[in-house]
Amino acid sequence: MTAPYERYLQETLISEDALQARIRELGEQITRDYADSHNLLLICILKGGVLFLADLMRHIDVPHAIDFMAISSYGDGVRESSGHVRIDMDLNQDVAGKDLLIVEDIIDSGNTMQYILSLLRTRKPASVRICTLLNKPDRRKVDITLDYVGFDIPDKFVFGYGLDLDEIFRNLPFIGVCRPDMDTSQS
Ligand code: IMP
Ligand code: MG
C-alpha cells in the first residue's frame, strides 16, 4: 500500500526531524532578537505558511500576536510566479508602531515578498523582518534581505509542510521534491 503522494515524490529533501530541529533554532534566535520587543506581530502568509507558523510560534518565547494575509500572483503558469501580485485577504489590524515578522513558506523569484514588504512599509510599522522556511537563491529576480532562513534549497519544485502540489499535500510533515514528469492533473 503506497501513500497517494508517493507517485509524485522524487526524493525527500528535508525530513520531519530536520525541519523541526531547524524551526526550534529559528524560534530561539527570534526569541533572543525580540527579547525587548513589546509589540511583536507574526504575519503568516497563507496558505503555505500555516504549518511553519504553528510550529515556529511554539518556540518563540516572547509575547506576540499573530495575523494572516493571503496573497496570490497571477499571469503566468501555476508554478511560475509573475510580477503581478494581488492581496486576497488583508490583515485586520493597524500595524503602525509594531514589530512585524513576516512568516513565509518559500522565497522564489522574490516578487511576492517584495510586494508584501512595500505594502507593509506604507503602514508605518516600527520594524519589518522576514522569516522564510525555504529559500531558492538561484531563482531570485529581485533583491531582498532575508532575516531568517530555514534552508537554502536548489531550483526544484518542492511540496509538503505547507507547500502544495496543485493545492494538495500541504499536510505532509516533510519537504519533498516533485518528480519533474509528474503533475497532479494527470491523476
Ligand atoms: P515568488 O513570488 O516567486 O518568490 O514565489 C513565492 C510563492 O510561490 C511561494 O509563496 C509559493 O506559494 C510559490 N512557490 C514557489 N516555489 C514553490 C515550490 O517549489 N513549491 C510550491 N510552491 C512554490
Ligand atoms: Mg506562498
Whose alpha carbon is nearest atom 20 of ligand 1?
158
CATH number assigned to the domain comprising residue 75: 3.40.50.2020
* Residue 176 domain-assigned (yes or no): yes
Range of the domain at 149: 7-180
* Residue 2 domain-assigned (yes or no): no
Please tell me whether the peptide bond between 47 and the residue prior to it is cis, using omega within 30 degrees of 0: yes
Active site residue 183: no
* Residue 187 domain-assigned (yes or no): no
Closest ligand to the CA of 164: 1
Catalytically annotated residue among 55, 108, 143, 181? 108
Stated pTM of the model = 0.94
* Residue 14 domain-assigned (yes or no): yes
* Residue 50 domain-assigned (yes or no): yes
Q: Which of 147, 115, 140 is nearest to 30 (CA)?
A: 147
Gap between the Cα atoms of 46 and 30, Å rounded: 21
Pocket of ligand 1 (CB under 6 A): 48, 73, 81, 105-113, 157-159, 163
* Residue 1 domain-assigned (yes or no): no
Q: Which of 122, 115, 123, 106 is nearest to 175 (CA)?
A: 106
Among 8-17, 67-76, 112-121, the range scoring the smallest mean pLDDT is 67-76
Give distance in angstroms: CA of 162 to centre of ligand 1.
Answer: 11
Output the nine-digit C-alpha cell for 137. 537563491
29-80 pLDDT, tens digit per residue, is 999 999 999 999 999 999 999 999 999 999 999 999 999 999 987 655 556 5
* Residue 169 domain-assigned (yes or no): yes
Closest ligand to the CA of 137: 1
Looking at residue 22, its pLDDT comes to: 99
The number of domains in the chain is 1
Give distance in angstroms: CA of 94 to centre of ligand 1.
Answer: 27
* Residue 186 domain-assigned (yes or no): no
